[in-house]
Amino acid sequence: MADILDTRKAQIHRTGLEPFEMACEKNSLAGSVSQRACVFCGSRVVLYPIVDALHLIHGPVGCASYTWDIRGATSTGPRLHRMSFSTDLQEKEVIFGGEKKLYESLVELIDAYEPKAAFVYSTCIVGIIGDDIEAICRRVEAEKGIPVLPVMSEGFKGTKKDGYKAACDAIAKLVGTGDISDISDLSINILGDFNIAGETNIIREYYEKMGIEVVATVTGDGRVDQIRKAHGAKLNVVQCSGSMTHLAKMMEEKYGIPYIRVSYVGIEDTSKALYDVAEYFGNDEVMSNTSKLVEEEVSRIMPFVRKCRKDLKGKKAAIYTGGAFKTFSLIRSLRSLGMKTVIVGSQTGSKEEYEYLRELSDEGTILVDDTNPVELSKFVQEKDADIFIGGVKERPIAFKLGIGFCDHNHERKIPLAGFIGMETFAREVYGSVMSPVWQFVPRKARGAGGKSEEVVA
């Protein structure tokens, strides 16, 4: 591993070649430009898809521009979440305090937009100057009669995962405040799907076809009143486990609601998710509806998947995601397309998740935790990957190196969840890997992977 910082080596592993001991869940190394997002970003991505709430970022305007407007979380109703409100702290507030500005901004915005609730995000500078945002939130809540929830997400105080936790703590204050008398015994909450390109609605439709009531979607296309009633559901179904397991555990402790982890990425995992929920309820009609749904959907998309597999067989992929749980499903999805994963990593994976990744991966696969662009670029070149599956920060790496890219993060505008998502994923991967444009880029022209002659000719 030449050119890898010594202090980073414990977070990189090649499967099968050395004893497995993956260092993870630690602060990013100073001097390594991490692909990770900050604590505030972690809170924001989780909470913003609550579409009828006001989201106010207490900090400099730059924080407000970070990560939101490129995100694809849609709504079937209100679109207040698309607004990026900021208190726009300036030098004056940094010296004399920003509480007055926060109070005035909150009052003005609540009067103008009449939201169902308000979330107030603390950023780095607020943590430094020490504004008491909790006190301001309490005051405005009493004056305006809606929940005004502080989100303690100062960017510097940990990793993106700490931001998820701060978001869950804020949501937990809403849960348990609504009427649950009319909720069915066959009911769930969908946790950790962010309705990117309408994905939550695709999943909700599956459950409704199975005969299951969806009480709250936390947080894709989320509504404050639904979240208030979420404690009435009989099961929490958690997709993005990195962000939502904390909330699921709190609800299990407080309300006795069990939770299961699922993934809606790929044919295998989507089918398993639906069957797992059906099995939990042990209801014959639900099980028969589930079998019918899975059979219909799988037979509809398989001819296309087979067609893609013919050309994609043997192609190589690199994967880098926020949480590690999604990488399991992506490796399986790529296998169903005949492809091999040669690099896989995440910003916030746990020891157990990396252990499972090691078992799932082919020998020689590079596993990496909290990496940076220099490392990723080296690994992609070394493994001669044909496509990078990642998010907005991985896209330039792929394009600069002259390989295909598939956006599997929150910025995309196409659904990649559920059965229809597998069809879209296959189309995206196929279109990118098989594009004739790659024959003109330096990687192929240089002859990487021994393919130069026939391609350049």
Task: State the residue number with the nearest CB to ligand SF4.
Answer: 155
Whichever of 164 and 438 has its CB closer to ligand SF4, that residue is 164
Whichever of 37 and 433 has its CB closer to ligand SF4, that residue is 37
Q: Within positions 8 to 67, which residues make up the interface with ligand SF4, using CB under 6 A?
A: 38, 40, 59, 63, 66
Q: Considering the complex, what minimum distance in angstroms separates the CB of residue 161 from ligand SF4?
A: 14
**119 in helix, strand or coil?**
strand
Q: Considering the complex, what minimum distance in angstroms separates the CB of residue 150 from ligand SF4?
A: 15
Positive or negative: CA dihedral 330, 399, 449, 437: positive
Task: Indicate the helix (H) or strand (E) that contains 366.
Answer: strand 366-369
| Residues in CB range of 163: below 8 A, 6 or more apart | 37, 38, 39, 40, 41, 42, 43, 44, 45, 46, 153
> Under the criterion CB under 6 A, does residue 133 sit at the interface with ligand SF4?
no
Whichever of 76 and 90 has its CB closer to ligand SF4, that residue is 90
Q: Are 357 and 324 in contact (CB under 8 A)?
A: yes
Q: Considering the complex, what minimum distance in angstroms separates the CB of residue 364 from ligand SF4?
A: 36
Q: Considering the complex, what minimum distance in angstroms separates the CB of residue 47 from ligand SF4?
A: 14
> Under the criterion CB under 6 A, does residue 155 sit at the interface with ligand SF4?
yes
Q: Are 456 and 333 in contact (CB under 8 A)?
A: no
Whichever of 152 and 265 has its CB closer to ligand SF4, that residue is 152
Q: Considering the complex, what minimum distance in angstroms separates the CB of residue 44 from ligand SF4?
A: 9
For the chain, the straight-line distance linking the first and the last C-alpha, in angstroms and rounded, comes to 34
Whichever of 31 and 450 has its CB closer to ligand SF4, that residue is 31
Task: Indicate the helix (H) or strand (E) that contains 243.
Answer: helix 241-255
Q: Considering the complex, what minimum distance in angstroms separates the CB of residue 192 from ligand SF4?
A: 22
Whichever of 155 and 178 has its CB closer to ligand SF4, that residue is 155
Task: Indicate the helix (H) or strand (E) that contains 300.
Answer: helix 284-312
Binds ligand SF4 (CB under 6 A): choice among 118, 124, 191, 210: 124
Whichever of 59 and 147 has its CB closer to ligand SF4, that residue is 59
Q: Considering the complex, what minimum distance in angstroms separates the CB of residue 79 from ligand SF4?
A: 23
Task: Report how many residues bind ligand SF4 under the rule CB under 6 A.
Answer: 8
Q: Are 35 and 320 in contact (CB under 8 A)?
A: yes
Q: Considering the complex, what minimum distance in angstroms separates the CB of residue 121 from ligand SF4?
A: 8
Q: Are 87 and 59 in contact (CB under 8 A)?
A: yes
Cα–Cα distance measured from residue 140 to residue 147, given in angstroms and rounded to the nearest whole number: 9
> Under the criterion CB under 6 A, does residue 123 sit at the interface with ligand SF4?
yes
CA-to-CA separations, 441 to 380, 397, 433, 446, 452, in angstroms, rounded = 15, 14, 13, 9, 11
Q: Within positions 200 to 239, which residues make up the interface with ligand SF4, using CB under 6 A?
A: none
CA-to-CA separations, 3 to 6, 8, 12, 28, 379, in angstroms, rounded = 9, 10, 13, 18, 11
Q: Within positions 354 to 393, which residues make up the interface with ligand SF4, using CB under 6 A?
A: none
Residues that bind ligand SF4 (CB under 6 A): 38, 40, 59, 63, 66, 123-124, 155
